Chain A
Amino acid sequence: SSELTQDPAVSVALGQTVRITCQGDSLRSYYASWYQQKPGQAPVLVIYGKNNRPSGIPDRFSGSSSGNTASLTITGAQAEDEADYYCNSRDSSGNPPDVVFGGGTKLTVL
């Protein structure tokens, strides 16, 4: 089955821009979705589709994709953005396609 690969940890200075990436063959067929998870809480969808934000998600969160790599960009990171971030798609090699998650990226806001 296809896998999604994320960097384990990323840091960003307060107010700066950070990009979190996700790589995998399934991303050539599926846009990634991105989830934010804070300690002790359920994941929250922050980006889906080409670059769509659910209601209530700040516009500093954006998504992009190129080839087998998807990116989540936070422009002007805030202290409350410190969290784990997971990418997700479906494994297009399967029938039916399985759901896959990346291993997660821990974002630290300095």
Chain B
Amino acid sequence: SAVISQKPSRDICQRGTSLTIQCQVDSQVTMMFWYRQQPGQSLTLIATANQGSEATYESGFVIDKFPISRPNLTFSTLTVSNMSPEDSSIYLCSVGHSEGDTQYFGPGTRLTVL
């Protein structure tokens, strides 16, 4: 399994600001995914980050709110833009070799928006 790190591990932000979350993997992976996990809830896929092309967003998530970068096969960023308290969640990145196959998750970024 891959070793995945995320930065920051947690943050408290003011509404209207933006936060960029980094995800670093110790080996090259084909697929990187970004999930949101609201308190006490399950995992909701935000988007699939593709290297060399634009991210693929799920219904209810848009690029203007959650821009994603994937500059290489070991790194991705997710930005939460113009934050509101409703954006308070855990944001998780995960990696896998193909969509629908084995995924490994990072430790998560715990975001609180005041």
Binding partners A and B: no
State the A residues within 8 Å of B (CB): none
